[in-house]
A and B are shown apart, each in its own frame.
Chain A
Amino acid sequence: MIEAEGLVKRYGATAAVDGLTFTAHPGKVTGFVGPNGSGKSTTMRLLLGLDAPDAGVTRIGGLPYRDLRWPLREVGSMLEARAFHPGRSARAHLAALAASNAIGHARVDEVLDMVGLAGAARRRAGTFSLGMAQRLSIATALLGNPEVLVLDEPVNGLDPEGIRWIRGLLKSLAGEGRTVFVSSHLIGEMAATAEHLVVVGAGRLLADTSVAELSAVGSGSLEEAFFALTAGSAQYEGTSQRAGPVSTASPRRASDTACP
């Protein structure tokens, strides 16, 4: 289980995360969605103890991240596709991280196999395509066979086959009773993968709802409901794109950046 309570993170005058509270439960894929710049990646860094919040707390399995005994065996995470040294092989990268949490070497080959990189294990990771880099990052997340997964935009850079693969992987991990928390700015992708959605805009919680509930709102399209919900909170939007009135009612009021 992942918990965030009253989370605030400011960069200068702007609050990237502004009083965010949510819970991601075991046994399902929770999609963390919102427009670009809505604070998703910042929230994930706060969950993983990489950034310190200005207010609020995060807990994973009831503990603050820094108190985990064997962090990689409890939480698997990926924040960016190329978080490895280009001169190191995929196997060496994983072996080093495995050593930090006393994870056996057999597990390194196992995860390389799981993500389909067994044949490229000895290649310098700097030569990897974006899709392969993404797979190595996913292998890193799976290394400790963790109960909780925190993945930032895992489908980015994957080809259609890769996207289908990761959907299946996330669902099967959740099916095994794990907590799977996945961010995406693509609501359509989350519709195909997630059961539950935490929707954010401008660092605030807009909705904490099941995919079915959100889809049932208004015209019945998840995409329309999502746009109605996030209207006004998108930081970077083309003016012509928002011309049509969005009249669908939302489960919670569409946020306005000035509202409390």
Chain B
Amino acid sequence: MTAIQPTGTSTARYGFSNLARMEWLKLASLRSTWWTLAVTIAAAIGIAVGVGAQTKAHTADVTNNILGGVAPGLLLTGVLGVLVMTSEYTSGLIRSTFTAAPKRSLVLAAKAAVFGTVSLVVGEIAAFAAFLAGRASLPRTITGPALSHPSVLRAVVLAGAGYCLIGLIGVGLGAIIRHTPAAVAVLVGGVYVAGTALVGLSKSAGSYGPVSIVANSLTTTQRLAHALPPWAGLGMLCLYAALVLGIGGWLLVRRDA
């Protein structure tokens, strides 16, 4: 039997770019994607304006305070990342996806690449918009931090990257757990609660929690005593994302769909 092969593609086969296009169309065609991302940006800006207006002293890390609005958006991006995987299991679409593309680790790579890119772009928009809005709302008596200062620019850029990495942790957890409520519970538990609980045990252990990395390492301009340095924090988050995505990919290939 010969399969129907359109001319020009007879020697080729489906690959990463085809799957990335599929995943982009899936993500972009859901209204909930855009609502969630819009709320993420709005929350970051809203909190930054509130914090900016309340700022009283020069001595505080104003950049870090203004970027405090990143935290709720991180949760939204993380949940959206979870849904990128789990909504396919809920609906049964995953079987269509895997019959269209039986190389499952390539499917996960495409999902991670597409969602990682979208959440990075949205994260950077949220971080820069929040920083600029927060700085504009500072009282006149306070000199705002300038983006031309390297540590301020780094804090804002890495705040945006934080959304992407927490989102990718969500995608990986979704691939491992497959059920939306359980995966969201693990995301919130692992990323938020466990991080906070670790602080209770020891301050240096607490500095390894994903959210505290974003809050105390990536977005600071003044180094905190019990926090990882910014780039080490970024490396740690990358490691978490790579770990859960790696386990997720390993399980996807081995489990029945």
Binding site for B on A (CB under 8 A): 1, 26, 45, 48-52, 61-62, 65-66, 68-75, 77, 79-80, 82-89, 92-93, 95-97, 99-102, 140, 144-148, 179
Contact = CB atoms under 8 A, between A and B. Distances in A.
Nearest to B94: A83
Contacts of A48: 95, 99
Interface of B: 1-6, 9, 12-14, 18-19, 21-23, 25-26, 29-32, 87-88, 91-93, 95-103, 256-257
A48 B256 CA distance: 11
B21 A84 contact: no
A72 B26 contact: no
Contacts, number: 128
Given A69-B13, A80-B92, A96 B25 contact: yes
A96 B30 contact: no
Nearest to B31: A87
B102 A96 contact: no
Contacts of B26: 85, 88, 92, 96
A88 B99 contact: no
A84 B1 CA distance: 30
Contacts of A84: 91-93, 96
Residue of A70, A82, A148 with highest tally of chain B CB at under 10 A: A70
Is chain A's interface secondary structure helix, strand, loop, or mixed overall? Answer: loop
B100 A87 contact: no
Point out which of B1, B22, B93 has the most chain A C-beta atoms below 10 A from its C-beta: B1
A83 B96 contact: yes
Contacts of B6: 73
A51 B102 contact: no
A99 B93 contact: no
Contacts of B12: 69
